[in-house]
Amino acid sequence: MSGTIQNNIITVRQGDSFALNFEIKNNGKPVNLVGATLLMQARDEDNNVMFTLSGTAVDAAAGKIAILLSPVQTNIAVGEYKTDIQLTTSDGSVNTIWPANVNQIGTLRITPQVTIPLG
């Protein structure tokens, strides 16, 4: 799975897969995420939704959760898209967990691919 996360930018090559793994902690201790949901959305400069994607529990009791970007999501035009990732806990509270800095908007950067499947 190819891609990088640096500061508020997720970079992935067009058409590739990439796993975004998160371990949620509070005061250094894992947060029990049983019953929680994770949601990522990417929007273009005109605020059109490019995709919405739910997360998957890896080990919910230990605070581990992931979002798996597939070629379905990353096979969009090369460029930069606004994004964030929200966690809704079992008690209904909603927290934007990425980017962590509330003064930043996340960026999903799609870079060009060279190998394009024939068919």
Predicted pLDDT at 61: 94
* pLDDT at residue 117 tops 80: no
What pLDDT, in 10s, does the model give residues 21-37?
A: 999 999 999 999 999 99
What average pLDDT does the structure give for the chain? 93
- Which is nearest to 6 in space by CA: 111, 77, 113, 108? 108
Domain ranges for the chain, please list them.
Answer: 4-110
The whole-number average pLDDT for the span 83-90 is 95
**Contact present, 19 and 10 (Cβ < 8 Å):** no
pLDDT at 85: 96
Phi-psi region of 100 (alpha: psi -120 to 50; beta: other; left: phi over 0): alpha
* Farthest CA pair distance, the chain: 51
Predicted confidence at residue 1, as pLDDT, reads 61
**Residue among 75, 38, 65 at smallest CA distance from 53:** 38
Q: What percentage of the chain has pLDDT greater than the value 90?
A: 89
Q: Is the dihedral of CA 3, 9, 13, 14 positive or negative?
A: positive
Burial state string for 87-101 with b = 16 or more CB within 10 A and e = fewer than 16 = bebeeeeeeeebbee
Whose tokens are 């950067």? That residue is 109
Dihedrals φ, ψ of 113, to 5°?
-100, 155
Q: Which CATH number fits domain 4-110: 3.30.1510.10, 3.40.50.620, 2.60.40.10, 1.10.3720.10?
A: 2.60.40.10
pLDDT given for residue 116 in this prediction:
76
- Percentage of the chain exceeding pLDDT 70: 98
pLDDT at 17 over 90: yes
- Tell me how far apart the alpha carbons of residues 18 and 110 are, in angstroms, rounded to a whole number: 12
